[in-house]
Amino acid sequence: MTRYEEIAKRICDADAVLIGASNGLSISEGLHIFAEDQAFGDIFGDFKERYGLYNILSGLLARWPSQEAKWAFLSRLIGHYSIGYTGSPVMDQIRDIIGGRPYFVVTSNGECHFELAGYDPDSIYEIEGSWGEMQCARGCHDLRYPVFPLIPKMAAAEKDCKVPSALVPRCPKCGGEMRLGTSDEKAQQRCQDFIGKYHGKRLLILELGIGWRNQLIKAPLMDLVQREPHAVYITVNKGEIYIPDVIREKSYGLDGDVTDVLKLLSDTVKEERCVCG
C-alpha cells in the first residue's frame, strides 16, 4: 500500500471532515494577498502609484483619505477575486475528498471562495472576517449586510481611484462608515457545535496551506487532534510541514504544491472509494 493509499483509506473511514485553510490555498487559486508581484501591478497599478500600496494586504489595511477611495479599491478587489470567481480544481478536489460526509470549513481567507464554489455558507467560519459582508464601522448595531450586490455598480462607476459619493455604502442606522465584516460569532458557534457533535468520532482534519507558525487555525487544530482519540490529521503545505511528536501517530504531512497534492489525494480517494464503497 502506498502512503497516499493509506491516507485515502483513513479518509474513507472518517465520519466527518474539518477543513482548515489559509493563505496557501488562496495562492493555489491565484490570489496572493502578500505578493508584491506583477499581478498586483496589473490590477492595482494606479492605486500603487497614488497611494503607495504594494500588495493586496496593504490595501486592506490602508488608512484611506476618503471612503470614495476605500470603496474604489474594495470594489475592484472584490469584483476581480470574488464576483469574477468561478470555482477552481482545488475546490472540486476538496469536495471529492469530503465525499458527501458532514463537513465544516475554518478559514482565514476572506474572499468567500468556498461559498462561491458551492460549499454550504452555514458550514464555513471565516475567522478573520469576510469580504462578502459589511457592518457599521463604529458598531452602532450588529447586523451584517451583503457586499457583493453593490460591487458591480461601484466597480463600473469607479474613476481616478474613487467611486461616486452616492455609491459609498453607509450604515442604515447611524449613517456612518461601513467596514468589511469581521469574524462572526455565530459562525464560530456553529464551528464549535460541529466539533462537539463529532467528539469521540473519527474526525478527519484536513489542513491546507497553513504556515507552521500559524496560531489562529493551526495551533487549535493540532490541539483538537491531540484531544480527540480517533482524529486523523492531514496537513498539506509547501515547504513548511510541522507535526508535533505528541500527535505524530495520527498525522500525515504532505509537503508540496497544494494543487498537486490535492489532485493526487482526491484521485487516490476516488479509487479507494471504488474498493471500500
The answer to whether 171 contacts Zn ion (rule: CB under 5 A) is yes
Site string for Zn ion, 4-43 (x = CB under 5 A): ----------------------------------------
Side by side, which strands form the sheet with 178-181? 145-146, 130-136, 178-181
Stretch near Zn ion under the rule CB under 5 A, chosen from 36-44, 109-117, 170-178, 255-263: 170-178
State in angstroms the smallest separation of the CB of 179 from Zn ion: 10
The answer to whether 156 contacts Zn ion (rule: CB under 5 A) is no
Place of cell 482526491: 266
The answer to whether 173 contacts Zn ion (rule: CB under 5 A) is yes
Applying CB under 5 A, among 117, 140, 216, 243 the residue interacting with Zn ion is: 140
Q: Which grid cell is 10? A: 483513513
Applying CB under 5 A, among 56, 78, 136, 155 the residue interacting with Zn ion is: 136
Q: Which of 110, 120, 243, 236 is nearest to 179 (CA)?
A: 110
Q: Which grid cell is 227? A: 484531544
Q: How far is 5 from 201, CA to CA, in rounded Å?
A: 22
Q: Which grid cell is 70? A: 476605500
Q: Which grid cell is 20? A: 482548515
State in angstroms the smallest separation of the CB of 173 from Zn ion: 5
State in angstroms the smallest separation of the CB of 145 from Zn ion: 11
Q: Of 129 and 253, which CB lies nearer to Zn ion in the complex structure?
A: 129
> Dihedrals φ, ψ of 180, to 5°?
-65, 155
The answer to whether 168 contacts Zn ion (rule: CB under 5 A) is no
Stretch near Zn ion under the rule CB under 5 A, chosen from 112-120, 138-146, 148-156, 247-255: 138-146
DSSP annotation string for 256-277 = S-HHHHHHHHHHHHHHHHHHH-
Stretch near Zn ion under the rule CB under 5 A, chosen from 41-49, 91-99, 176-184, 208-216: 176-184
Sign of CA dihedral 33, 39, 44, 49: positive
Distance of CA 166 to the CA centre of its chain: 31
The answer to whether 102 contacts Zn ion (rule: CB under 5 A) is no
The answer to whether 176 contacts Zn ion (rule: CB under 5 A) is yes
Are residues 206 and 20 in contact, defined by beta-carbon separation less than 8 angstroms? Answer: yes
Stretch near Zn ion under the rule CB under 5 A, chosen from 81-89, 91-99, 172-180, 203-211: 172-180
Q: How far is 183 from 167, CA to CA, in rounded Å?
A: 25
Q: Of 57 and 140, which CB lies nearer to Zn ion in the complex structure?
A: 140
Q: Of 143 and 156, which CB lies nearer to Zn ion in the complex structure?
A: 143
The answer to whether 134 contacts Zn ion (rule: CB under 5 A) is no
CA dihedral 191, 196, 199, 203 (to 10 degrees): -10
DSSP state of 181: E
Applying CB under 5 A, among 143, 174, 219, 275 the residue interacting with Zn ion is: 174
Residues at the interface with Zn ion (CB under 5 A): 136, 140, 171, 173-174, 176
